[in-house]
């Protein structure tokens, strides 16, 4: 087993380190020489795709956060309304679905029963179904009209890391493809965004190479009873995933919130010494969101929170309110989750290891849950 881990302490450490490759491989072969998106592999009726009036993303666990990222990106790029729903909730609530609905499932294993049942239900209701999946020949792709494989390679650790980044990459590819196919405002920009995406793997490597301080913080924090995570826009699903990773790996009570929701309740949880991770949008993000999140940091800091801030490199505005700053390279706002989630994965993995826990096989969890 030591050899299989390639010198890493755990499969999870190894898989976190493989993320640049997982993203690069998921982009590979999906553009032509001119940079246009080519998804012939979908083998799906293009006319039917052009008629799609609504997209529903269904998934469980970490994959559902890739679905949340998808909603922000795909609606922006295509203007097709997107919903994202936990697969088990979608299946049992009489959802509005018809033959112009595209149901996109996201699953690493392709065997998650809750997700499979949602896909089957969607097909019964006449929807078109596309599976985003990491496992060739698995059940969900077989039960779907089309499949877009993520190429993260086998993921051994129970909690998902590199498959998550590959899922996010795949939803970007799908969204940009739809934008290109359907024409409209973003059709011309799809290629430019793809170009930015191709630069992301090297930026993930930059983040990974600078994790020394995050590991140190994680080891200091091994006794924390609770950790909060705040994010806004695409930083919101990142905050959710940061919290989930900490629960799964380190058995620490953790919650992710939309930063704008802070004043509507969660701020009551903040007492002196409470650690709070804040995922800050790029200063270039529209509608002044950056300033709003910086104000949130200020508000919780004034109440004694210990603020751990993930921000774009060179963002000086967070300096006065941050106990710790974790910098990530500049990318377009919608692509930021591929960078900002990495320190949160490393944090959870390192903290769990410091507690002496088995990060690859956390208690009570299974890699794929094949019962409803
Ligand atoms: C299990 C795993 C999670 C994973 C979820 C969905 O609960 O422990 O890490 O996110 O299933 O798995 P899937 O294979 O459908 O992506």
Task: Classify strands 146-149 and 226-231 as parallel, antiparallel or unpaired.
Answer: unpaired
99-103, 217-221, 362-366: range with lowest mean pLDDT: 362-366
Evaluate if residue 3 carries a pLDDT over 90. Answer: no
Average pLDDT, the chain: 95
Neighbouring CB atoms inside 10 A of 136's CB total 10
Mean pLDDT on 213-237: 97
The residue count for the chain: 372
Per DSSP, the chain holds a count of helices (H) and strands (E) of 14, 10
Cα 63 to ligand 1 centre (Å) = 7
Q: Measure the CA–CA gap between 201 and 249, rounded to whole angstroms.
A: 25
Task: Please work out whether the CB of residue 282 comes within 6 Å of at least one atom of ligand 1.
Answer: no
Ligand 1 pocket test target in 15, 16, 57, 60 with most atoms within 8 Å of CB: 60
Residues carrying an active site annotation: 367
368 lines ligand 1 (CB under 6 A): yes
Helices in the chain by DSSP H: which ranges? Answer: 11-17, 19-27, 46-51, 62-78, 87-91, 113-124, 139-142, 162-182, 190-198, 200-209, 212-220, 235-250, 289-302, 337-354
Percent of the chain topping pLDDT 90: 91
CB 104 within 8 A of CB 362: no
Nearest-10 Cα torsion for 138, 142, 148, 153: 10
Q: For ligand 1, pick from 16, 22, 63 the residue to mutate: most ligand atoms within 8 Å of CB.
A: 63
Q: Exposed, middle or buried: residue 93 (CB in 10 Å: 0-12, 13-18, 19+)?
A: exposed
Q: What's the pLDDT at 1? A: 67
The atom number, within ligand 1, closest to the CA of 158 reads: 8
The label of the residue with tokens 């033959």 reads 99
Which residue puts its alpha carbon closest to atom 4 of ligand 1? 61
Q: How far apart are CA 74 and CA 81, in angstroms?
A: 8
Quick one: pLDDT at residue 238?
98
The mean pLDDT of 94-103, rounded to a whole number, is 96
Distance, first Cα to last Cα, the chain: 31
pLDDT for the residue 187: 75
HSE toward the beta carbon, residue 9, CA cutoff 13 A: 12
| 186 has a pLDDT exceeding 90 | no
CB 127 within 8 A of CB 102: yes
Tokens for 113, please give them: 């029963």
Q: What would the mean pLDDT of 87-106 be, rounded to a whole number?
A: 96
- Beta-carbon contacts of residue 65 (< 8 Å; ≥ 6 apart): 164, 237, 238, 240, 241, 244
- The candidate with the shortest Cα–Cα distance to 324, out of 206, 212, 217, 211, is 217
Instruction: List residues bridging with 102 in a β-sheet.
Output: 55, 128
pLDDT, tens digit, for every residue of 245-282? 999 999 999 999 999 999 999 999 999 999 999 999 99
Using CA atoms, how far apart are residues 163 and 183, in angstroms rounded to an integer? 30
The string of pLDDT tens digits covering residues 328-363 is 999 999 999 999 999 999 999 999 999 999 999 999
Indicate the pLDDT class of residue 35, thresholds 50, 70 and 90.
Answer: confident
pTM surpassing 0.95?
Answer: yes
- The alpha-carbon radius of gyration of the chain (Å, integer) is 20
What the block records as the tokens of 1 is: 């087993």
Please report, rounded to a whole number, the percentage of residues in the chain having pLDDT higher than 70.
100
Encode pLDDT of 310-328 as tens digits: 999 999 999 999 999 999 9
Res. 183 pLDDT band, cuts 50 70 90: confident
């Amino acid at each position: 087993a030591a050899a299989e881990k390639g010198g890493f302490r755990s499969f999870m450490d190894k898989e976190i380190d493989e993320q640049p490759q997982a993203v690069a491989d998921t982009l590979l072969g999906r553009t032509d020489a001119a940079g246009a998106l080519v998804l012939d592999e979908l083998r799906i009726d293009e006319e039917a795709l052009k008629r799609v009036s609504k997209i529903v993303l269904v998934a469980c666990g970490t994959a559902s956060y890739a679905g949340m990222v998808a909603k922000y990106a795909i609606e922006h790029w295509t203007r097709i309304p997107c919903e994202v729903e936990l697969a088990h909730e979608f299946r049992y609530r009489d959802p509005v679905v018809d033959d112009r609905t595209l149901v996109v499932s996201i699953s690493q294993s392709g065997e998650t029963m809750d997700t499979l049942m949602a896909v089957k239900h969607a097909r019964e209701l006449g929807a078109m179904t596309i599976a985003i999946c990491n496992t060739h020949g698995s059940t969900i792709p077989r039960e779907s009209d089309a499949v877009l494989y993520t190429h993260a390679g086998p993921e051994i650790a129970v909690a998902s890391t590199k498959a998550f980044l590959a899922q996010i990459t795949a939803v970007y590819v799908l969204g940009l493809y739809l934008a290109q196919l359907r024409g409209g405002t973003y059709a011309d920009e799809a290629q430019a965004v793809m170009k930015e995406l191709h630069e992301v793997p090297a930026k993930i490597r930059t983040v990974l190479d600078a994790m020394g301080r995050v590991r140190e913080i994680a080891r200091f924090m091994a006794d924390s009873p609770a950790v909060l995570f705040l994010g806004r826009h695409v930083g919101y699903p990142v905050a959710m995933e940061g919290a989930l990773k900490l629960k799964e790996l380190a058995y620490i009570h953790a919650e992710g919130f939309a930063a704008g929701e802070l004043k509507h309740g969660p701020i009551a949880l903040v007492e002196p010494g409470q650690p709070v991770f804040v995922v800050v949008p790029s200063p270039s993000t529209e509608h002044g969101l950056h300033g709003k999140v910086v104000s949130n940091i200020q508000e919780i800091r004034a109440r004694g929170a210990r603020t751990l801030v993930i921000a774009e490199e060179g963002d000086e505005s967070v300096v006065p309110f941050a106990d710790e700053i974790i910098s990530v390279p500049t990318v377009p706002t919608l692509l930021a989750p591929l960078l900002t989630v990495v320190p949160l994965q490393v944090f959870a993995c390192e903290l769990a290891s410091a507690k002496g826990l088995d990060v690859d096989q956390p208690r009570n969890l299974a890699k794929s849950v094949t019962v409803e």
